[in-house]
Amino acid sequence: MQNEKQRITVTIYSQQYTVVGQEPPAHVKKVAKVVDQKMKEIKKLNPYLDTTRLAVLTAVNVVDDYMKVLQELEELKQERRTTGDE
Amino acid sequence: MQNEKQRITVTIYSQQYTVVGQEPPAHVKKVAKVVDQKMKEIKKLNPYLDTTRLAVLTAVNVVDDYMKVLQELEELKQERRTTGDE
């Protein structure tokens, strides 16, 4: 049951998307909500963007955040290694 | 000089985007490349997606990755607190 694929329908920027996967529905809905909110935030700052460019810039924004968190994580892991965890 | 805003033009999925900000150009270009690659990957798996839906699903994908890394970071920080760093 754990590995069964589920179809979850979410609404992002007034469009419906069906996500197929093994993630819990609550997680998929949370992710969709973050994307929806980010698109609306970026639209407010750039009202003339069409939806494709808006979605691409949203992805750019999130990859930027992602790379920063990833770097912080790497630094923490590195620090943990050098302070001697083994 | 450090805080001066720069305009950097990047190409994502054959479209040009101008990003205004204080980030080093190399970082902006790296972020754009990640988005471009992810869009192409998702397009391969879903050849009938239009560009808007493709970009939205790319953002969904990246937010999913982001939340997982963020959770790992929080766990590491929590672990560091409980093993007594203060």
Structural domain spans, chain B? 6-82
Residue A34 has pLDDT above 80, yes or no: yes
Task: Return the minimum-mean-pLDDT range out of A18-22, A79-83, B59-63.
Answer: A79-83
Distance CA A83, CA A20 (A): 42
Distance CA A60, CA A65 (A): 9
- Going by pLDDT thresholds of 50, 70 and 90, the confidence category of residue A7 is very high
Which residue, A9, A64, A16, A13, is CA-closest to A38?
A13
| Residues 6+ positions from B12 with CB-CB distance below 8 Å | A56, A60, B32, B35, B36, B39
Residue A14 has pLDDT above 90, yes or no: yes
Residues of A in contact with B55 (CB under 8 A): 52, 55-56, 58-59
Measure in Å the smallest separation between the Cα of A1 and chain B Cα atoms.
Answer: 22
Residues of B in CB contact (< 8 Å) with A are 12-13, 15, 17, 19, 23, 27, 30-32, 34-35, 38-39, 51-53, 55-60, 62-67, 69-70, 72-73, 76-77, 80
Instruction: Read off the amino acid at residue A23.
Output: E
What is chain B's pLDDT, residue by residue, as a tens digit (86 residues)? 556 788 999 999 999 999 888 889 999 999 999 999 999 999 999 999 999 999 999 999 999 999 999 999 999 888 888 876 55
Question: Do residue A34 and residue B63 have CB atoms under 8 angstroms apart?
Answer: yes
| ipTM entry | 0.86
Among the partner residues B31, B63, B76, nearest to A35 by beta-carbon distance = B63
Q: Is A86 helix (H, G, I), strand (E, B) or coil?
A: coil
User: Is-contact B53 A15, C-beta < 8 A?
Assistant: yes
Question: Do residue B17 and residue A56 have CB atoms under 8 angstroms apart?
Answer: yes
